[in-house]
Structure 1
Amino acid sequence: MSILVATNFSNLSYNAVLYSASLAKELKTKLILFNAFQVPDHASTARLSGTFVEGLIKKNRSRLKEMALDLIKKFDIQVEYKCKYVSLDQEVDRLMKAFNCRFLVIGMSSKSIEQNLLGNPATTLISMKRFPVLAVPIEAKFTGIKNILFACDLLQDIPLKTLAKLRDLAIRLKSEVTVFYVEQKITELKTLTQDEINNELEDVTILYKNVKSNTVIEAIEKEITKSNSDLLVMIPKKYGFWESIIHKSKTRVMASGLNIPLFSIPIE
C-alpha cells in the first residue's frame, strides 16, 4: 500500500508533500510523488516539438528526484516519483491502481469567490468520487491526528463498507472519532445507526454529536474549532444528472478554505 501525492512545485503542493511524507512515516508506507503538467494556454496554440516536451519532462523529473531524495533523508521513508505530460485527472486513476494507493493527497486552495464558482484541482478530484482524497490546506502542518471529525448525513443510508477506510486510518493513527450530524430539526440518533457505526468502527473511540442548524457548513466549521479537530472526514453523495445541476456538494464546498485537512471517502 502507498500514498500518492500530486505536486506542481508550488508552495501549496509542497506543503501537501511534506504533510503526506509525515503521514507516510506514521503509517509506515511508501510515498509516490506525481507531477502531471501541461503547457500554458498561450503556448499550447503553438506547434510544440517532441524534443521540447521531452525537455520539460526531463526538467520536472529532475526536480522530483531531488525532492524524493530530500524526503528520504528527512523522513526515512520509501519514495518513488513519476512525471507525465498529461492532465492530473486523466492519469491519477491508473497510478492509484498501479501503486495500490490508499488515497491521493493534494493541496487545498484558499476560499474565494472564484474557487466557489469554478472549483479547484482538489474539488475536481473529490467530485470524481472514485478514490479517497486528502485535501491539505497550506496552513496545515502534521503534528499527529488525534481528533477526527466525521460529518455525515444519518438520514441517508450510511455506506458501512466505506467506514472500513476510516476505521483503518483511525486505528493506525490512534485517533478518536466524533460522529457529527447536522440537521434542521433535532431528532435522536437512531440506535440502529449507532450500533452499525460502532460495529464498523470497532476498536475506535467514538463520540456522537447531533446539533440543530439551518447552515450545515457553518455548523461543521464551528465544530472543527470547538472540538480542536485535526482532520475532517466527509462522504460525498452520488446524485443523478438533474440533481447534480441544482445541488452544491457540501464536501466540495468544504474542500476550499478549511484550515485543517479534509479526507473525502467515496461511497462503495
Structure 2
Amino acid sequence: MNTILAATNYTELAENAVAYAAAIARQNNYKLILLNDFSVSIHVMNARLSAERVEEMIDENKLLLESKALLLADEYGIQVLAKATFSFIDDAVKDIVNQYKPEVIVMGMEEKSLEQELLGNTTTSVIKKLQWPVLAVPANAKFSNPKKVIFACDVLHGVSEQLLARIKNMALITQAEVEVLLINETIDELKAIGADPNALSRIDAGLEGIDYYYKNVKSDSIIDGIAGEIKRTGADLLIMVPEQHGFWGSMVHRSKTRIMASGLNIPLFSIPV
C-alpha cells in the first residue's frame, strides 16, 4: 500500500497539516505515517532531570502519538502508523522516507516573517535537504481537490518527464486546470535566449490530455510575480521545483521555493527534479 507521511509537533499548524494529509490518504487509499520527533526543551534540560524521568517523558509522548493515530484511523477510515522518534526532525523524516518511500511529505507552512525568510523553518529545511516531494500546508488551508493549479516553470533548466507525469496525473484525478507560469520571459523570448528548443514541446507532450495553458508574468521579483498571479487567478495549489541556483537562485543563494514556503495562503507542492 502506498503511504503518505505527516509530521507533527502537536501545534495547531502541524495538526492542521496532519488533518490535510489524512484527507489525502482517505481519498487515495494510502496508509498515513504519523511522525513526531520528541525533543527535550531547554527548560527541562536546565532542570537536570534524571535519565529515568526523560525516558518516561519519551514513553508518554509515544503513547500520546499512538492515541492520536488511533483517533485519525477511526475518523478518516484509514490505516495510520505512529512513529515516535528521539533525534532531530530532519534526520527522523529522512529515515522514514528511506524506509517507507512515501508519495509525499506533508508539513505545516509557517507564516511569513523576516526570521522565517532569512533562517527558514523545519518545513523549508526538509525541502532544502531532502530530494523528496513536500506538500507545505498553511494554517488556514482545508483539504479540497485543487481546481486551479499554478506550475511555476523553469524552462531554461528543463522539465523532467517524471515531474510532468505527476502533474498530469494529479490534474486528471482532480479535473484541475493547470497554468504553466513563466516569469519575465515569453515563449518567444525563451527561444531567443537559448532555451532548449524541445523543452516546450516536451511540456506539451507531457501535459497532453489535461486542461492547461501558458502564462507570462513580467515582474522584478520572481516571488512577487508568483504571489501576484496566485491572487489574480484564485489558484488553490502552487507547484514549484526547488533549485539552489539558476532560475530560482538569488544573491545569497536562497531557494525561491523555500522562501515561498512561508507566507502563502495556499498549499505549496515542492517536487524535486
Work out the number of aligned pairs and report it. 264
* Residue ranges of structure 1 left out of the alignment (5+ in a row): none
Give the CA deviation at 1:100. 2.5
Are the counterparts in 1 of residues 5 and 32 from structure 2 also a CA contact under 8 Å?
A: yes
After TM superposition, the structure 1 stretch with the greater mean CA deviation from structure 2, 5-14 or 112-121, is: 112-121
Are the counterparts in 2 of residues 27 and 173 from structure 1 also a CA contact under 8 Å?
A: no
Are the counterparts in 1 of residues 237 and 267 from structure 2 also a CA contact under 8 Å?
A: yes
| TM-score normalized by the length of structure 2 | 0.88
Q: RMSD across aligned C-alpha pairs, in angstroms?
A: 2.2
Mapped to 2, the partners of 1:172 and 1:100 lie a distance apart of 22
1:82-107 alpha-carbon deviations (Å, 9 max, x no partner) = 10111110121221132220111110
- Aligned residue in 2 for 1:167: 168
Give the CA deviation at 1:163. 2.8
Are the counterparts in 2 of residues 3 and 102 from structure 1 also a CA contact under 8 Å?
A: yes
Distance 1:53 1:173, change over 3 A: farther
1:137-176 alpha-carbon deviations (Å, 9 max, x no partner) = 1011112212211112222222333333333333333322
SS of the aligned residue for 2:166 comes to helix
- Aligned residue in 1 for 2:120: 119
**What are the residue-to-residue correspondences of 1:68-107 with 2, within 5 Å?**
68-107=69-108
**What are the residue-to-residue correspondences of 1:178-197 with 2, within 5 Å?**
178-183=179-184, 185-188=185-188, 192-197=198-203
Matched letter for residue 220 of structure 1: I
**What are the residue-to-residue correspondences of 1:142-153 with 2, within 5 Å?**
142-153=143-154
| TM-score normalized by the length of structure 1 | 0.90
Are the counterparts in 2 of residues 137 and 258 from structure 1 also a CA contact under 8 Å?
A: yes
Give the CA deviation at 1:229. 1.2
Matched letter for residue 255 of structure 1: A
Matched letter for residue 36 of structure 1: D
Mapped to 1, the partners of 2:217 and 2:82 lie a distance apart of 44
Are the counterparts in 1 of residues 149 and 237 from structure 2 also a CA contact under 8 Å?
A: yes
Mapped to 1, the partners of 2:159 and 2:144 lie a distance apart of 30
Are the counterparts in 1 of residues 134 and 269 from structure 2 also a CA contact under 8 Å?
A: yes
Are the counterparts in 2 of residues 5 and 32 from structure 1 also a CA contact under 8 Å?
A: yes
Give the CA deviation at 1:120. 0.6
Aligned equivalent of 2:211, options 188, 205, 209 = 205
After TM superposition, the structure 1 stretch with the greater mean CA deviation from structure 2, 57-66 or 74-83, is: 57-66
Mapped to 1, the partners of 2:21 and 2:66 lie a distance apart of 17
- Aligned residue in 1 for 2:262: 256
SS of the aligned residue for 2:156 comes to coil
List 4+ stretches of structure 1 deviating above 6 A. none
Distance 1:173 1:58, change over 3 A: farther
SS of the aligned residue for 1:224 comes to helix
Matched letter for residue 271 of structure 2: I
- Aligned residue in 1 for 2:194: none
Matched letter for residue 98 of structure 1: Q
